[in-house]
Each structure stands twice: as C-alpha cells, then as structure tokens.
Amino acid sequence: MPRPDERKRVASLYRGIYATIRAIPKGQVATYGQVAEVAGIPGGARVAAAALKVSDGQVPWHRVCGKASRTHARIAILDPIGAAMQRAMLESEGVVVSDGGRIELAIYGWRSRARSKKKRAPRRK
DNA sequence: CTCGTGACTTTGT
DNA sequence: TACAAAGCCACGA
C-alpha cells in the first residue's frame, strides 16, 4: 500500500487506471489506450502514461506498452535500462518480445471483456 | 479559467 | 515499414 501522502497524490482517475493495470493477467500486455479505455478514459492514452509514470512500482507497469502499429505494440520508454528491464520481465512471464521491442498484440494483447460497456467515469473537476 | 506538458494514437505520405 | 503532423484527455501552475 502506498504511503498516505502518495495516496493523496493519485487520488483521482489515476486510481482507476492502477486498478485496470493490476487486472491485466500475467503473460499478457495492454496498450496505454487500452488501459485508459477500460479505466473510463477513451482517448486518454497520455493520461494512462502519466499515471504509470507516477506509479513508481506500485503497479505492474511492464505489462503496459505503447502501440506502434495495428498489429504490434512497442516499448516506448525513454530509459534504455527501464526498457531492457521491462523486456526481461515480459519474457519471464512468457511474452515473446522482438528485437525492436515489439510485441504481437494478436497473441499477447489483453482481451478484456469491458470493451463493449462504454461506461464513462464522471469527471472530478 | 487559460496555457503548457506528456512512458500516446491515428492517419497520411 | 518508417517518419511527420494533428488530435486526444487530464493534471498542474
């Protein structure tokens, strides 16, 4: 559990994003847009990214990647060390990562069922 | 309330 | 397949 001050820091829609990320099954990966959509923020891929940035280890961030094309996801982390660590974590869970850091969404992409629900969370502000 | 920012996504060339 | 530009949403100052 995060510390109280850190909790207050992420006391908005970010919490829903974290819950969504924790719901990603092991051995599967999801894109930022996917996470945002399930968390109730369609088109809020950048928000999910920001949430992940401040999460700092309290969520399995290695299961979330940026979408490079229609069929592949790509690790888009700036830090080469973090990218390598993410790739190692994914491979340890059974996910095959190509040389360019690409992952086949058709195989390892997270198929969540909350896709057709289209429920929008109310804005806090 | 307005403006700038970002670990993104989609479309076009 | 790879690069460039526009669009998207929420947060913080």
Phi, psi dihedral angles at A98 (to 5 degrees): -75, 175
Residue with tokens 């401040």: A54
What 8-state DSSP symbol labels residue A123?
P
Q: Which residues does chain A have with pLDDT short of 70?
A: 1-11, 78, 113-125
Residue nearest to nucleotide C7 (CA to C1'): A43
**What tens digit of pLDDT does each residue of A61-74 get?**
999 999 988 889 99
User: A11: which nucleotide lies closest, measuring CA to C1'?
Assistant: C11
Whether nucleic acid strand B comes within 7 Å of the CB of A55, the answer is yes
CB-based contact A86:A77 (threshold 8 Å): yes
Distance in angstroms (rounded) separating the CA atoms of residues A64 and A36: 11
- This prediction has a pTM of 0.86
